[in-house]
Structure 1
Amino acid sequence: MSFHPSFSSAVSVATPPRWAVWAAHLTTLVVLPSGLWRIAMVLGYPGGYTETGFGPFETFGAKAWMLALSVLSELVAFLTIGLVRPWGEVVPHWMPLIGGRSVRPMAVVVSAALGAAALTVIWANVPWWWTYPHEDMTPTGNLVVGILYQPLVLWGPLTAAVTLSYYRRHRTAWRRGPAS
């Protein structure tokens, strides 16, 4: 069964389970608190840093990096939704050159699995935020920033779970062969 009446594919793929859809959407939310914090810093709010600690973040380069990191993180998290939506099966028609082409499921699975593993490793130490020294932050800032970053621990595992769901749905479709 396909996702949407206008969606066509050579292989019929089962609808993603509800938990996978929720998990995919949740990935965009776990990235949001830290991204909003960085954007607040770009706009001049010290974000829990002392006056001296905030100084390096006031340069154009630092602001551009923080803004780019926030936007890029949210876009990468948004890609997880493609694992439960039709555009994870067929590239949307509005995209130049590749629109309407089928997505290679194994390429999606491998890249999403590698991304999930990398995200899990990158954010694995976040639960221990408060055990590291943060002399350039106020005590309240240290607490708040630690709280804002905690959801990132879920990003890799959520992506891995949705990737596994995508793999299972496509593995079943590969066994059945082309849709009639």
Structure 2
Amino acid sequence: MGARTIAARLHGTPAPGVPRWAVRTAYAITLAVLPSCLWRIGGFILGLPLLEHGPTPPEQDPASFDGGWAYILALSVVSEALALLCFGLVARWGEAWPRWIPVLRGRPVPVLAAVVPAGLGATVLMVFPYSMVMFSLGLTIRGDKAGIITHGWQTAVFWISYLPLAAWGPLLAVLTVHYYRRRRAG
């Protein structure tokens, strides 16, 4: 089984008229999100020495409360699942409801039903680079001490893991505009 066949089964066949760059952009989004998910799971759940936990109030350290590992795992899984939804902007299932959805199956997906959530998501994700810089400085978004600190090589691994995530918002915005224009033209 070839790579194209596997990709088509996992993400769906690209819709007619979708250029190759758009499909590659959808793949780039899923790959941009993956390193940060792996960093969180490695640092918080597996206890790898990717960060140092300083004295932090429990409400600020996601791994310190009961079920913290479940929160980190859920955050990572939901992040990657939302990234995978970007394939709806390039695949056939993003233009017509899939067969397994009872009442809607086969009907066209309204353009705004995809564009509005994708546009809002892209807008929210544009704020992410600010929060990433604050976190790397050991601060929360408000500027309070976060208690989660990286030093030396840990900081380099953090940036390598999280820097691709900053591309999610702009890439999603590009795909959303392309989806809107393509669907309106067709």
Q: What is the TM-score of this pair, normalised by structure 2?
A: 0.74
Greater helix proportion: 1
**Which residue of the partner structure matches residue 168 of structure 2?**
155
Deviation at residue 147 of structure 1 after TM alignment: 1.9
Judge conservation of contact 1:28–1:78 (CA < 8 Å) in 2: yes
Deviation at residue 158 of structure 1 after TM alignment: 0.4
Query: Structure 2: 5+ residue runs without aligned partners?
Result: 1-14, 140-146
**Which residue of the partner structure matches residue 124 of structure 2?**
118
1:63-117 per-residue CA deviation (whole Å, 9 max, x = no partner) reads: 1111011000001111111100001011211234433332111221122111111
Deviation at residue 129 of structure 1 after TM alignment: 5.7
**Which residue of the partner structure matches residue 18 of structure 1?**
20
1:135-155 per-residue CA deviation (whole Å, 9 max, x = no partner) reads: 633332122112210011100
Q: Distance in 1 between matches of 2:164 and 2:102?
A: 35
Which protein has greater RCO, CA pairs closer than 8 Å, 6+ apart? 1
Q: Distance in 2 between matches of 1:128 and 1:41?
A: 18
Matches within 5 A, 1:1-180: 15-50=17-52, 52=54, 57=63, 59-121=65-127, 123-125=128-130, 128=133, 132-133=137-138, 136-173=149-186
Change (3 A) 1:165 1:47: farther
Quick check: which has more Rg, 1 or 2?
A: 1
Q: What is the TM-score of this pair, normalised by structure 1?
A: 0.77
Query: Structure 1: 5+ residue runs without aligned partners?
Result: 1-12, 174-180
Change (3 A) 1:19 1:73: same
Q: Distance in 2 between matches of 1:108 and 1:118?
A: 16
SS at match of 1:125: helix
Judge conservation of contact 1:14–1:169 (CA < 8 Å) in 2: no
Percentage of pairs with the same residue: 40
1:17-38 per-residue CA deviation (whole Å, 9 max, x = no partner) reads: 2111111111100000000111
1:5-53 per-residue CA deviation (whole Å, 9 max, x = no partner) reads: xxxxxxxx85112111111111100000000111223542234222656
Provide the alpha-carbon RMSD of the alignment.
2.7
* Paired AA for residue 123 in structure 2: A
